[in-house]
Amino acid sequence: MSSVDHSLKVPLEKEKVRILYVDDEENNLTAFKATFRRDFTVFTALSGAEGRVILDKEDINIIVTDQRMPQMTGVEFLASILPDHPKPIRILLTGFADIEAVINAINLGQVYRYITKPWDAKELMISIMNAYEIWHLRQENEQLTQDLLEANEKMEFMLRQSLLS
């Protein structure tokens, strides 16, 4: 794990990007938090169950999870939270190159990026920034769609009023 180039900053608006990192190895959680706490708001969990508790309480933009965990894999965790927490962008970390895990990550957990461990801080920083950009664009798209629907309803109402008069 190399140091982060802090000149690679996410153009944030009001608040730092909120990341949940799930890993059953406490040393990995500590290293992640130490590396990224200056740039992001970092939440950590030792299991998928702990991660779900955090997701239920906090507004998380990005989830980074280890694949190999004892109670449930990272893919199983990501797939299990999709119905209740579909918006966070997902990044999967694993210490081995398992093509089946990659396929499951994409298909079941809707994973944006797959990164091998040990992770490189600069690569992970860039992946997080790109993931946040996607998250942010999705939120903007959702708002624009809502605005368009409301404008359309107003126009239809005005058209009905003009036809009635």
Which residues in 44-72 are b (16+ Cβ under 10 Å) and which e?
A: bbbbbeebbebbeeeebbbbbbbbbbeeb
> Residue 149: CB partners within 8 Å, gap ≥ 6?
none
83-118: per-residue pLDDT in tens?
999 999 999 988 766 666 666 666 666 777 878 888
CA neighbours closer than 13 Å in the CB half-sphere of residue 79: 14
Q: How far is CA 127 from CA 6, 49, 143, in A?
A: 14, 25, 24
Structure-token match 């579909």, residue found = 86
Task: Give percent of the chain with pLDDT exceeding 90.
Answer: 41
At 12 the pLDDT is 47
Q: How far is CA 143 from CA 16, 136, 137, 149, 153, in A?
A: 20, 11, 10, 10, 15
> Residue 32: CB partners within 8 Å, gap ≥ 6?
21, 23, 42, 44, 64
11-25: per-residue pLDDT in tens?
444 468 999 999 999
At 55 the pLDDT is 96
At 105 the pLDDT is 61
Task: Kindly state the tokens that stand for 153.
Answer: 């309803």
12-61: per-residue pLDDT in tens?
444 689 999 999 999 999 999 999 999 999 999 999 999 999 999 999 99
At 4 the pLDDT is 52
Instruction: Give the strand pairing for 89-94 and 40-45.
Output: unpaired
Q: How far apart are CA 120 and CA 141, in angstroms?
A: 31
pTM, to two decimals: 0.77
**Domains of the chain with CATH codes:** 17-135 (3.40.50.2300)
